Every structure is written in structure tokens, then in C-alpha cells.
Amino acid sequence: MPQKMKISAPRGTRDLLPEEAPAWERVEAVVRDLSARYAFERIETPIFERIDLFARGLGESSDAVEKEMFRVAGAKGSEEEGSEWALRPEPTAGIVRAYIEHGMHVRPSPLRLWMMGPMFRYARPQAGRYRQFTQWDVEVIGDPGPMVDAELIELAHRFYARVGLRGVVAQLNSIGDATCRPRYREALLAYFTPLAGRLSADSQRRLQVNPLRILDDKELDPELAAGAPKSLDYLCDACRAHFDGLRELLDRLELRYAINHRLVRGLDYYTRSTVEFYVTGREGQQDALGGGGRYDGLIEVLGGQPAPAIGFGLGIDRTVIAAQAQGGRAEPEPSVVAVVSASPEAFAGRLRIATALRDAGVPVRVDGLSRKLGRQLESAVKAGARWALILNDAEGERLTLRDLVSGEQRELALDEVPAALST
């Protein structure tokens, strides 16, 4: 006897079970609807990319690159031995790579793109933090803002409202650009260097490489954080005007936001606006529902013609969990009709009627088991069907529609079925 093996899902991953699927489908439907309504075009990029794309695109000192890469190596002995890819930790680098590779800068600008799919980060799993998770991502390339920055914040608010999440607040910051960031960096360096002994090992290491990252270190002493120089005090005139412009637009749209001076968003090539979304009262760093920012420098860094750009990644897993925690109910499942027959063997008739109903857009379940009518009906109820359509003869010339909730039933013709379901 071969030994029995018990294999479970990899750590930090989840199966989406049928009973959880409706809640996801509802969110996915909102994603598709809003993507279309806001005139985004769909793009899909591979789930893995050359590892140097992420190293350059996100910055060597980002957590995603430094600690959280899911590496994929070329097979030994193959011509790709020594090549390294990584499962994508975020969508922007791949989209910008595609934008450059396909010469998309010649398309009408600004370009508005959306994508939804799995991302991978090799971090220690905990509540709401997985190694595989799904993001809805929107990117606008070729628009310097601040209007588009406000538009995307409004879009995110609309998304959360549509999926039934209440009390979402945007946190906002501006981290300046190549003109003013160096001065801010110097100020942080001057502030944190004498305090290095009170910083975590990670932050001590980052002090020289990327002192902005110290601010989003979860272990940073709140007292040190409160006294640290604030990027908003170091903005150059152009960045200041951009930020003030964004705030004014958000006020005009009556969108709630809070300034968070520690919001630096880890990745090196972010410029100006940085944004994260939280449910009020759950502003812990692990609970961001979504986030994004402007990355005016990234396209050039990856070898393209410079273009201002902004992108948001909204986490679907945490959104579904948060909506459920608030008691948000998944939209009712579509009412399924179980096609059953008085004669246990009426397979051809069952299949023909099921097919005709599906042609008419009705969700149908049908099976090929040879069971008495009573058992077929029982099984339909257990499977959650709302209606049973009973074939009274082998071909289904005579049909009875039974409401499985009330037990009421009536005879009708096949072409009357779809209308009868909506009454």
C-alpha cells in the first residue's frame, strides 16, 4: 500500500471555496463596472518577470525586493540556467515594462489602464497578510495631476462604497520630487543619525540607503516619529502647488482625507502624492485596504521616455474581509433552476431542457444520476436551487415549475419559464 500523503495549501495561500465565491464575484463585478465607467483599458502582464525589473522598478531597498521576492530560477542544464525571475509583488513595474516594450507612449495620452490579478510576497503570513493576494490596479500614464490624483482617490472611495464598506478614509502625503527630496533626505539623516541606537536593525541599515523608509518602520518609536522632519515642510514650489491643488480638489469633491506624515510608501520611485485607504479606527499598518501614488520618475528609470504617472493598487482580499466584518452581505446568488424528471432515466430530455434554458440565460443545474423524482428534488434543495423544473414525460413536453421555497407549483410551457422565474 502506498503511504497516504496529506498535502495542504502552501503557507500564506488560501483556497476560494464555493461558499466564499459570491462575495468575491460581487467585488469583481464592481471592479469591471468601475473600470469601464471610468474609461480604463484592460492590460494583462505575466505573473512573473525578470527579477531585475523589480529590483530597478521598486528599488533595491524596498521590502518587496529585499525580503519578499518569490524567486523563480531557470532550470539547471537549460539555456536559461542562471536566469532569475520573480513572481510579481505588485503590478506597476510589469505594466510600465509593457508600456515601454510596446511603444505605448505613442498612443493617445493620458493612457488609462487597469488590471486585476494575483500578487506574491514572501512575507510572514498573518491575519490579512498573505503570500498570494489579489489586487485591482489602475494606472494613468501621461497626466501630471493633480486632477487625476483626486479622480483616483474619488474612484477608490466609490469602489469601497459600492462593495458595502463604510467609514473608509484616505490618508495622504506628498514626498516631493527629485528637486526637493534630497533636502528632505538630508534633514531625516541629520535627525536620525544621532538617534541610530534607538532604531530597529532594519532602520539602522536603511539610514544611509533610504532614510525615508525609516518612517514606515512599524517598530519606530512613536516619539521619534513625531519629532521627525515632515516632508510637507520641505516641498519645492512645484510640489507644494501640486499638493495644495490636490487638497483643494478633494475638498471640492467633499472627500474625507487625513494627512499622514509617515506615509512614504516604501518604493524608491514614488514622487509627490502618496495615498493609502483604511477603515476608520483600523489604521494599523497591516490593515491598509489599498494604496498608491505618483511615480513620475519610474518610466525613465526603466528605460522609457519620461512621463508623469500615477497608480493605485486596491487589495481585494482585505476589502472582502472588511466588508464581511461590517456585516456587508454578499449579493444574493442568482436563482438556480434544477432540471429534474419524473422518470429517473429521462437523460436526453433533461439535458435538452437544461440547454434550452441556458440559451435563454437561466442558471441551471442538472445531473445525470438515475434517481427517483423525490430524491432529485431533495438533492436540488440541498444544493441551494431556488426552483425545480420537472419533466413530466421523457421529452419534457409537459413541464411543472416548482418553487422550492414555498412548495407551490404549476404547469407551464418551456418558453414561459424565464418570465415565471422573475415573478
Tell me how far, at minimum, the Cβ of 165 lies from ligand AMP, in Å. Answer: 12
Q: Which is nearer to ligand AMP, 324 or 409 (CB)?
A: 324
My answer on whether omega of the bond before 110 falls inside 30° of 0, hence cis, is yes
* Footprint (CB under 6 A) of ligand AMP, residues 231-270: none
Q: Which is nearer to ligand AMP, 149 or 317 (CB)?
A: 317
Tell me how far, at minimum, the Cβ of 131 lies from ligand AMP, in Å. Answer: 7
DSSP result, 75-90: PTTSTTTT-EEEE-SS
In the list 59, 164, 297, 315, the residue contacting ligand AMP (rule: CB under 6 A) is 315
Q: Please identify, among the stretches 70-78, 152-160, 311-319, 324-332, the one whose residues bind ligand AMP according to the rule CB under 6 A.
A: 311-319
Identify whether the C-beta of residue 95 lies closer than 8 Å to the C-beta of residue 43: yes
Residue with cell 532550470: 75
Burial label, 19 (beta-carbon count in 10 A; 0-12, 13-18, 19+): exposed
Q: Which is nearer to ligand AMP, 123 or 224 (CB)?
A: 123
Q: Which is nearer to ligand AMP, 90 or 139 (CB)?
A: 90
346 Cβ neighbours under 8 A, 6+ residues apart? 391, 393, 394, 395, 396
Q: Which is nearer to ligand AMP, 289 or 401 (CB)?
A: 289
Q: Please identify, among the stretches 127-135, 218-226, 349-357, 405-413, the one whose residues bind ligand AMP according to the rule CB under 6 A.
A: 127-135
Identify whether the C-beta of residue 40 lies closer than 8 Å to the C-beta of residue 116: no
Tell me how far, at minimum, the Cβ of 154 lies from ligand AMP, in Å. Answer: 18
220 Cβ neighbours under 8 A, 6+ residues apart? 199, 200, 203, 214
Query: Binding of ligand AMP at residue 130 (CB under 6 A)?
Result: yes
Question: 269 in helix, strand or coil?
Answer: coil
x/- mask, ligand AMP, residues 84-123, rule CB under 6 A, reads ------x------------------------------x-x
Q: How many CA atoms lie within 13 A of 374 on its CB side?
A: 0
Task: List phi, psi (to 5°) of 218.
Answer: -65, -25
Size of the site for ligand AMP (CB under 6 A): 16
Identify whether the C-beta of residue 363 lies closer than 8 Å to the C-beta of residue 335: yes
Sheet containing 168-174, strands listed edge to edge, beginning at the edge strand earlier in sequence: 41-42, 111-120, 132-141, 309-315, 290-294, 271-279, 168-174, 257-259
Angle at CA of residue 89, ends 85 and 93, nearest 5°: 80
Q: Which is nearer to ligand AMP, 63 or 177 (CB)?
A: 63
Q: Which is nearer to ligand AMP, 54 or 133 (CB)?
A: 133
Tell me how far, at minimum, the Cβ of 358 lies from ligand AMP, in Å. Answer: 36
In the list 56, 213, 318, 386, the residue contacting ligand AMP (rule: CB under 6 A) is 318
Tell me how far, at minimum, the Cβ of 286 lies from ligand AMP, in Å. Answer: 9
In the list 116, 289, 389, 399, the residue contacting ligand AMP (rule: CB under 6 A) is 289
Q: Please identify, among the stretches 24-32, 38-46, 167-175, 313-321, the one whose residues bind ligand AMP according to the rule CB under 6 A.
A: 313-321
Q: Which is nearer to ligand AMP, 26 or 265 (CB)?
A: 265
The residue sitting closest to ligand AMP, measured at its beta carbon, is: 315
Distance separating alpha carbons of residues 57 and 117, to the nearest angstrom: 19
In the list 50, 129, 185, 371, the residue contacting ligand AMP (rule: CB under 6 A) is 129
Give me the torsion for CA of 67, 70, 71, 72, rounded to 10°: 180
Binding site for ligand AMP (CB under 6 A): 90, 121, 123, 128-130, 133, 135, 288-291, 313, 315, 317-318
